[in-house]
Structure 1
Amino acid sequence: MPVRPSPQTASPGAAPATARPTVASYNEWDPLEEVIVGTARGAARVAFEPALAAYYPLGDPERNFGGAPFPQEDIDRAERQLDAFALRLEKEGVTVRRPEPVMHHEGYTTPDFAAANGHAQTCPRDVLLVIGDRIIEVPMAQRGRFFEYRAYRRLVKEYFAAGAQWVAAPRPQLAEETYVPGYTTEDTYYDFADHPALTEFEPLFDAASFTRCGRDIFCQPDVVTNRFGIDWLRRYLGPEFNVHIVQFSDRYPQHIDTTLVPLRPGLALTNPERPFKDDMADFFTESGWRLVDAVPSVRTGPPSTRDVSNWISTNILMLNPETAVVEAAEEPLTDLFRSLGIDVIECEFDAVFRFGGSFHCCTLDIRRQGELQSYFG
């Protein structure tokens, strides 16, 4: 069914009301009205490639692994949890859309690289960036995710037909020049800032490397996002937005949504295992923000676990400034939120983790109430 703006009513004789944009989202906390929830159907494990080198030191025999389908029972269990999550959002009054499953089991070749197979369409937050009424297809650094945008094209075309802006960042080549040769995360190169995984050959970024606070957008250069990509987005958005680079002490950073998690104006979770390396903490606190240490997940193993971060607990979705969706087993985080005056909706989601993330990763805000504002002095 085509997506159309919600009709507006007006009293007799009044000027026509302006229809609310179909796509409108400026931050991570305003009341959620419409969202895309991903799917695990069609998912596969990507083969080793240069963009994954951060997680496999030189000499690690697992650098030779090839791609493979996920076991069907894992897909089915994850999909049941995704379906239950989508149903719960609908019960909360949120319109939920789902992508079209794309089978990622086949390999593909471009003029610049070959991939044994693709990955999934479980995490729309990685692939698309919504800022206001703009939907941006991002230039992802992983070869196995090159065609992932295809799962969302039907939805994006509907949103465009209903008035949204739609742009694709420059499609990357992902050639050998894109990656730092022989990249490793051995102790010699512990400081990521001094030894990035990507060159500046072309603009690259995942959407989940950015978090939105109205006119101020925060991002970190990481294993899938380079400064060329940040510069491209900054120039595209123009002076209406301030794109800030934030750096944390993190051996292999990827995405910001388990490191800096805005909850509402003036309140954000931070990761005590990944402290700020720059003065951005002062930028927040001097603007009246409270930064609260998150708690690690009870679902996962030690920090070396490759399938999922041990901070997956913080990958939450804010339905509004007073309500968060939290994984059902994460009682320490639930207790923390309630101490902050935030209600919690608990959903089981552990089967979804291995497909790329939790509630924030597996959703994409399409429309939230509220307008563009500045939350910093």
Structure 2
Amino acid sequence: MRLNSYDDFSPLKEVILGSAVNYVERIHDLSFDMFISDNLTGARGYYASITDWYDGSSRAKRNEPHRLALKKRFLDELIEDIEGMAEVLESLSIKVLRPMSLDPRPKDVATPAWSAPITPPLNVRDNTLILGDEIIETPPTLRARYFETHFLKPIFMEYFTQGARWTTMPRPMMTDASFDPRNIDNAAPNIEVPLDPQASPYDVGPEIMIDGANCLRLGRDLIVNISNANHALACDWLERHLDGRFRVHRMHKLTQSHIDSVVIPLRPGTLLVRSEKVMEFLPEQLRRWDVIVSPVPDVSDYPQYDNDDPIPASPYIDLNLLSIDENTVLVNDACKTLIQVLEENRFTVVPLRHRHRRLFGGGFHCFTLDTVRTGGAEDYLS
């Protein structure tokens, strides 16, 4: 089919599902520490702060890259759960496309300014934004994911040959000076201030950086969460690039970055939100929609890990559900209270196992990139 995806809730026909194959290690560097944070109050105490992932002697060197091997058992279970997701999607008559797998031989991505281990294309939602018939590769916010969209190129090329537009936003240098830390005091209260950002001959100052998961797609409207200068520059680019085709709305400081575990449009006129506070940040037109407030997650809903296993994702990660259509949603089978709330609001819930969503920092929406839905450039905000 031809590329066509304007929203997150009209009937889904084709989707890219990520891969965790050969996911060996992750890196903690300045880009990781600037990215990871729980957002909005109410979820503190579920996991340690970033500083707890370093012992006292290494804390002073926190900005230096620190590699952490992933435990094979958790990775094997993650892969098993993803394959189960592929089977369920196909059983719902959805075409599932898969990216190229990461080569098993360890490799790093390197630029003139830094190097990092390559990570596989797991959370494919993050570095690509699909707007109608256009693929937009977004400028990465994590160094280890700099070339992640390369694993999707065979799929993108096929859509391109069928008539899709294909654009890549400017690629950042990503030196320490590229990241704007000013969100520390307003959007992300538990994020870590860089202790000693290092100067580089490649510094250009704050750069265009944003993830596709910062954005909420509603037909002809695009709502963009902005919490720092990097996001604001990216929104400038999107406004100029999309002028005349989409209306871009700025939403300030809702979260530190991604919004797809905070506000989820389930159908026209209905939102699922993390808390009622979310509504204060939304465009005025969305505040008139019906709201389903998520139950507060119970820590017992999640696997518990040893202290040396960093937990990047918020305990609200299970709001990161995938809509099959305006009445059907894919939800983690461990989240019983959320399933009950959705069913009480007349949604058909397809429960699906995903054990290590907090450990690997992604839910069903993160793992997927919907490329064909039946919806069009509707005006949902008038």
What TM-score, normalized to structure 2? 0.82
Alignment match of 1:283 (pick from 271, 275, 285): 285
Instruction: Tell me, yes or no, if the aligned pair for 2:16 and 2:370 is still in contact at 8 Å.
Output: yes
Deviations 1:295-338 (A, max 9, x none): 23343489xx8332110110000000000000001111111111
Letter in 2 for 1:176: D
* Whole-angstrom CA distance in 1 between matches of 2:332 and 2:318: 7
RMSD: 2.9
Partner of 1:243: 248
Aligned AA (2:13): E
Q: Provide closer, same or farther for how the CA distance between residues 218 and 281 of structure 1 changes in structure 2, counting only shifts above 3 A.
A: closer
Distance in structure 1 (CA, Å) of the matches to 2:174 and 2:231: 13
Whether 1:264 and 2:267 are equivalent positions in the alignment is yes
Question: For the Cα contact (< 8 Å) 1:44–1:67, is it kept in 2?
Answer: no
| Matched residue SS, 1:86 | helix
Q: C-alpha distance in 2, partners of 1:144/1:367?
A: 28
Count of equivalent residues: 345
Aligned with 1:124: secondary structure? Answer: coil
Of the three residues 307, 314, 334, the one matched with 1:309 is 314
Q: Give the one of 40, 43, 51 matched to 2:31.
A: 51
1:170 aligns with 2:170: yes
2:323 paired with 1:318: yes
Task: Sort the Cα spacing of 1:222 and 1:151 in 2 relative to 1 into closer, same or farther, 3 A.
Answer: farther
Where does residue 147 of structure 2 map in the other structure? 147
- Measured after TM superposition, the shift of residue 120 of structure 1 is 2.4
Alignment of 1:199-278 (within 5 A): 201-222=206-227, 226-248=231-253, 250=255, 253-272=256-275, 275-278=278-281
Identity %: 26
> Residue 15 of structure 1 aligns with which residue?
none
TM-score normalised over the length of structure 1: 0.83
SS in 2 for 1:47: strand
Query: Do the aligned partners of residues 236 and 196 (structure 1) sit closer, same or farther apart at CA in structure 2, a change above 3 Å counting?
Result: farther
Tell me what 2:97 maps to: 97
SS of alignment partner, residue 226 of structure 2: coil
Specify whether residues 77 and 333 from structure 1 end up closer, same or farther in structure 2 by C-alpha distance, changes over 3 A only: same
Q: How does 1:176-195 map to 2 (within 5 A)?
A: 176-180=176-180, 185=184, 189=185, 191-192=187-188
Q: 1:110 maps to what in 2? A: 111
Query: 1:359 is matched with which residue?
Result: 364
> What is the Cα deviation at residue 367 of structure 1?
0.1
> Which letter does structure 1 place at the counterpart of 2:295?
V
What is aligned with 2:14?
34
- Where does structure 2 lack aligned partners over 5 or more consecutive residues? 37-49, 195-203, 305-309
2:125 counterpart SS class? helix
Query: What are the Cα deviations for residues 28-54 of structure 1, in whole angstroms up to 9, with x where unaligned?
Result: 100000001111102243322222234
Do 2:260 and 2:320's aligned partners in 1 also have CA atoms closer than 8 Å? yes
Deviations 1:227-253 (A, max 9, x none): 001111121111221211223555xx2
Query: For the Cα contact (< 8 Å) 1:26–1:372, is it kept in 2?
Result: yes
Other-structure match for 1:330: 335
Partners of 1:68 and 1:263 in 2: CA distance: 36
Asked if the contact 2:18/2:122 (under 8 Å) is kept, the reply is yes
- CA, structure 1 residues 58+336, in 2 after alignment: closer, same or farther (shift >3 Å)? closer
Displacement of 1:291 in angstroms is: 2.2
Change in 2 beyond 3 A, CA 1:150/1:347: same
Q: Deviation at 1:354?
A: 2.4
Q: CA deviation at 1:371?
A: 1.8
Q: SS at 1:336's partner residue?
A: helix
- Whole-angstrom distance in 2 between the partners of 1:224 and 1:293: 30
What corresponds to 2:66 in structure 1? Answer: 66
DSSP-derived class of the 2:252 partner:
coil
Contact 1:40–1:355 at 8 Å: present in 2 too? no
Give the secondary-structure state (helix, strand or coil) at the position aligned to 1:370. coil
Cα distance in structure 1, aligned partners of 2:320 and 2:246: 24
Give the partner amino acid of 1:106.
Answer: K
- Cα distance in 2 for residues equivalent to 1:318 and 1:241: 22
| More RCO (CA 8 Å, sep 6+) | 2
